[in-house]
């Protein structure tokens, strides 16, 4: 099996390392940062550069670039891949990526499946990549045709071979709706939370709650700006809902309305318990 990886940052670098560690695949990689590509070669994460000649040999090509760059790269693959090659992107949004890439794949004679590895760190770059990053994680797949069971089974088996614990098949719309809640909203809240003046003087007064809530405030602003603006409708819907809920809590506290506050807190606790049990 020959694997290509375009983009050797945290995710692409981890994909390359995982294939080299867990499988006997040949791995070829490319990154516009030539120092990352050289380092990947030096540490054995790739067997060589992902040249056009090697592109033509790839069984699977993972595209770990920002959404706009991923679409542009995949659109450039026409005539460069063998007919049974499968291209999987790793972007955190799907509506901004999948339609254009399905069309590019149809024109280019290869197969494209939207992908999103549900794993990561607050640190970025190849230097922070690790072979076990995907251990037990979910991989989201957005195929054009969900009825191609043989293809999806083959891709799922390949992904499990590098540590993924589950595969979720969905649509671009459902993906973006859920990711707005589970990932994007959390990054906005965390990033805004640390802007309190007390964040500068909190040491000695914090424990796990602060650490949990602020972990993803340390983000890559270039990437997350693009991701947020590629999913504005569903993210703003989540933000509006949160702002409304916070206003309810704020008003109950300001009014010293113990009954309302107690009810709000009880509702939140019960919902969390119900979600965790389900």
- Residues 44-99 pLDDT 10s: 999 999 999 999 999 999 999 999 999 999 999 999 999 999 999 999 999 999 99
For residue 255, give the DSSP letter: T
Alpha carbon 212 to chain centroid, angstroms:
19
155-176 per-position pLDDT tens digit: 999 999 999 999 999 999 999 9
Angle, CA 74 vertex, CA 73 and CA 78 arms, to 5°: 110
Please report the pLDDT score of residue 175 as a whole number.
98
**Region 242-248: what's the mean pLDDT?**
98
* DSSP-derived pairing of the beta strands 48-49 and 111-117: unpaired
> Which tens digits make up the pLDDT trace of 126-154?
999 999 999 999 999 999 988 899 999 99
State the first-to-last Cα distance of the chain, in angstroms, to the nearest integer: 39
CATH 1.10.3660.10 residue ranges for the chain = 175-277
**CATH 3.40.50.720 spans which residues of the chain?**
2-171
Pair 47, 23: CB distance under 8 Å:
no
According to DSSP, residue 194 is labeled: T
Rounded CA-CA distance 23/264 in Å is: 50
Q: How far is CA 274 from the centre of its chain?
A: 26
Q: What is the mean pLDDT of the chain?
A: 96
CATH number for the domain formed by residue range(s) 175-277: 1.10.3660.10
Q: What is the CATH number of domain 2-171?
A: 3.40.50.720
Contact predicate 163/21, CB 8 Å: no
Residue 80 in contact with residue 107, Cβ under 8 Å?
A: no
Contact (Cβ atoms closer than 8 angstroms) between residue 231 and residue 184: yes
pLDDT over threshold 90, residue 181: yes
pLDDT at 129: 95
User: For the chain, how many residues are written?
Assistant: 278
């Amino acid at each position: 099996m020959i694997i290509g990886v375009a983009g050797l940052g945290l995710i692409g670098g981890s994909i390359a390392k995982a294939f080299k560690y867990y499988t006997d695949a040949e791995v070829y990689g490319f990154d516009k940062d030539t120092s990352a590509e050289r380092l990947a070669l030096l540490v054995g994460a790739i067997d060589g550069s992902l040249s056009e000649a090697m592109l033509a040999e790839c069984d699977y090509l993972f595209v770990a670039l920002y959404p706009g760059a991923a679409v542009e790269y995949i659109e450039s693959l026409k005539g460069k891949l063998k007919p049974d090659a499968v291209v999987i992107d790793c972007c955190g949004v799907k509506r901004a990526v999948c339609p254009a890439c399905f069309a590019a794949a149809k024109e280019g004679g290869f197969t494209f499946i939207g992908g999103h590895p549900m794993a990561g760190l607050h640190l970025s770059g190849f230097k922070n990549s690790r072979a076990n990053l995907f251990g037990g994680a979910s991989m989201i797949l957005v195929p054009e045709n969900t009825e191609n069971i043989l293809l999806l089974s083959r891709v799922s088996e390949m992904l499990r071979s590098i540590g993924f614990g589950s595969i979720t098949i969905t649509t671009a719309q459902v993906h973006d709706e859920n990711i707005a809640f589970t990932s994007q909203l959390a990054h906005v809240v965390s990033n805004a939370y640390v802007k309190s003046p007390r964040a500068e003087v909190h040491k000695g007064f914090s424990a796990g709650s602060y650490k949990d809530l602020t972990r993803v405030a340390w983000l890559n602003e270039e990437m997350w700006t693009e991701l947020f603006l590629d999913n504005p409708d569903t993210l703003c819907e989540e933000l509006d809902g949160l702002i409304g809920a916070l206003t309810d809590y704020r008003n109950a506290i300001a009014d010293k309305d113990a009954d309302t506050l107690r009810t709000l807190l009880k509702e939140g606790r019960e919902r969390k318990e119900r979600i965790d049990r389900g």
